[in-house]
Amino acid sequence: MGASVVDIGPRLAVVLVVLAALAALAGRWSGLAQDRPILVASLRATVQLAVVSAVLLVVVGSLWLSVAFATVMIGVASVTAAARVTGRPLGAPGRRNRLPPVAVAVTAGAVPVAALVVVSGAVPLRGESLIPVAGILIGGAMTAVSLAGRRLREELGTRRGEVEAALALGLPRREAVLEITRTAAATALVPPLDQTRTVGLVTLPGAFVGVLLGGGTPLEAGAAQLLVLVGLLATDAVAVWVTTELVARGRILDDVPR
């Protein structure tokens, strides 16, 4: 396999088709009715990665094009997270007004961490370094915002009466909402916390394997993976914090009690 983790060829194509079919069948037979979304997601991933791979051949050679590409990633991540948080399609009334606050949460989580990593010199200021790091952090922020936002929406739906009671007692809306949502929002940090706690014992994540396959030493691979994991923790913690604050202030969800 050389420096690649997979052999690119007909066997890979067959395996991918079988895996997608297996996932779709599990989504149908389990009663979850997720067979079609699974197949659509698999097809989209194939097309998108093919296009992105071609684009990156040009983009990584320019720092400014790499920054522009990372900006596009933030936009796509914000649209995706906004759909999860609000539970509405992009064209739904009021949905577009909720997109900027979600973008703020994603950006607040990913950009400062990426900037610190690059400006400090921990990662070279080059396109081939910036894009992978930015992609990992933006993806982490997107997931954190999506999970936190959905949990906050569910919590406010089931415990609305408690918020209204707190408001009736004279508590400001922000404090009333935060009183019942902080614990729910914290569950969005469970995946990155578990991944960080078990690294090396349960899994060897992509950054570690990538550095090894690229010819790096195990020490260099461990350092790269540690940078990614701790960076993700910082990104996700900030993204969840900002999301919780924006929800409490009525900037993302429409039906927050007043």
pLDDT at 2: 44
Shared-domain flag, residues 52 and 128: no
Above 80 in pLDDT, residue 202? no
Q: What is the pTM of this model?
A: 0.83
Residue numbers of the domain that contains 7: 1-59
Residue 141 lies in a domain: yes
Q: 158 with 228, same domain?
A: yes
User: At 116, is the pLDDT very low, low, confident or very high (cuts 50, 70, 90)?
Assistant: very high
In a domain, 231, yes or no: yes
User: Do 75 and 55 lie in a common domain?
Assistant: no
CA end-to-end distance (rounded Å), the chain: 60
Which one is predicted more confidently, 196 or 18?
18
Q: Is residue 254 part of a domain?
A: no
- Give yes or no: residues 26 and 148 share one domain: no
Q: What is the arithmetic mean of pLDDT over 210-229?
A: 72
Q: Is 253 domain-assigned?
A: no
Unique residue bearing structure tokens 């994603």: 106
Can you give the pLDDT at residue 199? 78
For residues 143 and 146, give the distance between their C-alpha atoms in angstroms, rounded to a whole number: 5
Q: Are residues 32 and 76 in the same domain?
A: no
- Phi and psi dihedrals of 37, rounded to 5? -55, -35
C-alpha–C-alpha distance, residues 191 and 35, integer Å: 24
- Tell me: do 127 and 35 sit in the same domain: no
28 and 70 co-located in one domain:
no
User: How far is it, in rounded angstroms, from Cα 142 to Cα 110?
Assistant: 9
Would 171 be classed as within a structural domain?
yes
Decide if 110 contacts 138 (C-beta within 8 A). yes
Q: Give the range among 25-34, 89-98, 149-158 with minimum mean pLDDT.
A: 89-98
Regarding whether 143 and 49 lie in a shared domain, the answer is no
* pLDDT greater than 90 at residue 21: yes
The pLDDT value recorded for residue 151 is 92
- Please tell me whether residues 238 and 141 are part of one structural domain: yes
- The answer on 154 and 231 residing in a single domain is yes
CA distance 126 to 66: 8
When divided into structural domains, the chain yields a total of 2
Which residues does 99 contact at the CB level (< 8 Å), separation at least 6?
Answer: 78, 79, 82, 90
Q: How many CB atoms lie within 10 A of CB 186?
A: 15
Domain end (from 35, 59, 83): 59
Kindly state whether residues 14 and 72 are assigned to the same domain.
no
In a domain, 255, yes or no: no
